[in-house]
Structure 1
């Protein structure tokens, strides 16, 4: 491992990419402590200490509780991505964009960014409007609320820009790494909370050891499932072109167990936070009732969480992997799966396999995100970093390590996962 790290540092281009990424981390972590003008952070501490905004505050790295310019984090971007992906299924012209390669991908990304800015402004203005009742807004005029909304919007736009810069000039996926860094930044606070709980006798040392061992087992499980794949054998027919023979080789289609990664968890968590956020700004009994229904750990919340994770796991998997397209491409290139005829039978087989793998992946995601609820009930202690955070951190770390390994392989160096 140490030799690999030294090799990474020896490669000048890779070293520059890593340093650039770390510099961007520093920029948005500093921004997470710059308070939005026109707000009094102390007046809303009780609102955020209730834990209703836990996941949003987690992926913002504490920026929400600080009411900083990055308080909305990349939440609007995630919501915009959900909407754009749904529209790609509904609108044929948008669906065709996804098949146009790099140019189509850029147009889709452009629509996502436009949607992000619109949603960030709407969410920022709604937040400013709702915060009037808490006494946090120093200037309650329309101009004052507009300034707050524009500040929140600008913060989200800057984060989106930083994410793009990391993707282009740094290492890994910028947006994912922003979420990763924000979650990791909350680890020290969680460690302090754990220490205080031990000192006060709320949690004993044996419980901490049990949690640590269980945590390591869960991390190992996440790595195994994230890296696990089903390999579908493919045989290419021999073709003679001129005096040369082409094809005849055997290969495989790698199908990951968890094809969707952590996207279903992020999407589901973001959607379930919306009712809680909106009802916090309505001072009515019915709004309070809705907030209780959607509270984290409530029966309705758990049922919807499971349903949304399942839904997005299948939705995102089949957005990325279309069995019919794969079957058509195999047919055109002279490839076939042994024992199956090209065309419809191959597509049906791939659909069946992917369907089963997605079910396993979705059940695994559900088990991981619900595990903290079970542990909290057993140990009578609220675990600050939930299963969703663990999935995101491990998933992003694996993807980033793979990219570093790919860069090293080009230069004939060994990687982390030898």
Structure 2
């Protein structure tokens, strides 16, 4: 508690924290400002119906990535996901397009140009996504737009409002980066995830029971105790693996200048076990939406073939319907596909973000080397071999974290709103952002000769 009080004793740090909290409050207030064309009563009924089926889980998972909600009928309805998508696209293109790769190596000026292109791409993505969403809201299938507003001009105004909302959130994130503390975009996503926590606690409280053998649909004392232990255990495991490193020893060459000898010190090169971060889970979850949509469409198209007895068409329609149900219920097949995709994107993302040749060249330029390996190609091959091995462990960790919510929901009979806080992308994002925020606050304290938050003394 003394360390927390010390944070607010430093005027500059106090201003940064209060400024960040103010912008996060504005961000949350915007989610309660609806679009003028939407019938809010019909929208609430639609959200309640969607939350009870498997499609609601899928939409809820995707909405969580961008810090938004399933309904998306407010001025901040698109969240910050269009900016994240544009950033990922340019990061992937940076390793493929030579011009972007050259910009990345130019330093600060190159990064500014790439950020400018990212902002323009964000506006384009916002216009496309908001146009599709407004058109879907105006359709008879959803039916949440008042009849007198189902025309082109009101739709265009809604698209402009949602696009301007996302651009404003992008500006808010940049202001937090410059004048606040922490990574602005990550804090916005974390705020959107944590905003669901009171709803999850309310649902858990309503289904809680003081009996050892509760009634169907309720949670007894043993189940609540298991949930509490599991919650703490998952957080401890996520923190441990997120902070874990593979430290490769390095040694700098000795330099003789006059009568003095410089260098020769032994250091280490840290390689994170979870190099991909949360991106592999996001890619895998987003990609698994398409099989569900495709199989559902095929199931509706082949529904009439089931009337034929013992025919190829009937068997094909039955198989398609089973596949559609498996992906909607997130059953065994969905889990296996999710784990395979997580492993694939872990290695894919690591191959893009980690370049052993550049790292080997940097060690050589600074006069350092790995004992037992010659500078150049042997060092690069050794770094690549080590990264392949630790990526396998990191992918296994991400696979476990992604599967935990489904296991909690199925075995403990817990609502999906509660189970998603026991693992998955949400918990991983919250823990990663909190660790980054603590490290930045700690650096401010240490720079002013205060004891850091992670210092035991």
TM-score (norm 1): 0.92
**Does residue 68 in structure 1 map to residue 69 in structure 2?**
no
RMSD: 2.6
Instruction: Work out the CA distance in 1 between the residues paired with 2:338 and 2:171.
Output: 30
Distance 2:333 2:227 in 1: 27
User: What residue number does 2:115 align with?
Assistant: 109
Match 2:94 to one of 88, 93, 100:
88
CA distance in 2, matches of 1:296, 1:168: 43
SS at the partner of 1:325?
helix
State the shift of 1:304 in Å. Answer: 4.1
Deviation at 1:194? 0.6
Larger radius of gyration: 2
Q: Aligned with 1:295: secondary structure?
A: helix
For 1:90 and 1:273, the matched residues in 2 are separated by 26
Counterpart in 2 of 1:206? Answer: 222
- 1:285 — aligned with what? 300
Note the C-alpha offset of 1:309. Answer: 2.6
Is the counterpart of residue 169 in structure 1 residue 179 in structure 2? yes
Distance (Å, rounded) in 2 between the aligned partners of 1:198 and 1:287: 43
Cα contact 2:246–2:271 (8 A) shared by 1: yes
2:407 is aligned to 374
Deviates more, 1:184-193 or 1:152-161: 152-161
Greater mean alpha carbon deviation, residues 118-127 or residues 145-154: 145-154
8 Å contact 1:61–1:182 — kept in the other structure?
yes
Matched residues in 2 for 1:274 and 1:285: separation? Answer: 16
For structure 1, which segment, 294-303 or 35-44, has the greater mean C-alpha deviation from structure 2 after superposition? 294-303
1:152 corresponds, among 158, 162, 171, to: 162
The two structures have a TM-score, normalised by structure 2, of 0.84
Question: In the superposition, relative to structure 1, how do residues 84 and 47 fare at CA in structure 2: closer, same or farther (>3 Å)?
Answer: farther
* Greater shift in the superposed pair: 258-267 or 185-194: 258-267
For residues 392 and 302 of structure 2, what CA distance do their matches in structure 1 show?
Answer: 35
Q: Greater shift after overlay, 328-337 or 53-62?
A: 53-62
Aligned to 1:8: 7
Structure 1 window deviating more from structure 2 (75-84 vs 179-188): it is 75-84
- Provide Cα deviations, 1:344-390, integer angstroms capped at 9, x if missing partner: 11000001111111111111011011111111110122231522211
Higher mean C-alpha displacement, 129-138 vs 345-354: 129-138
Task: Note the 1:267-346 alignment, pairs <5 A.
Answer: 267-273=283-289, 285-286=300-301, 294-295=327-328, 297-299=330-332, 301-346=334-379
2:236 alignment partner in structure 1: 220
What CA distance in whole angstroms lies between the structure 1 residues aligned with 2:374 and 2:68? 55
Identify unmatched segments of 5+ residues in structure 2. Answer: 51-55, 210-214, 304-320
In structure 2, relative to structure 1, the CA distance for the partners of 1:76 and 1:217 (3 Å cut) is same
1:402 deviation in Å? 0.6
What are the ranges of 5 or more consecutive residues in structure 1 without an aligned counterpart? none
> Could you say which residue in structure 1 is the equivalent of 2:426?
389
Matches within 5 A, 1:108-147: 108-132=114-138, 133=140, 134-138=142-146, 139-147=149-157
CA distance in 1, matches of 2:395, 2:176: 29
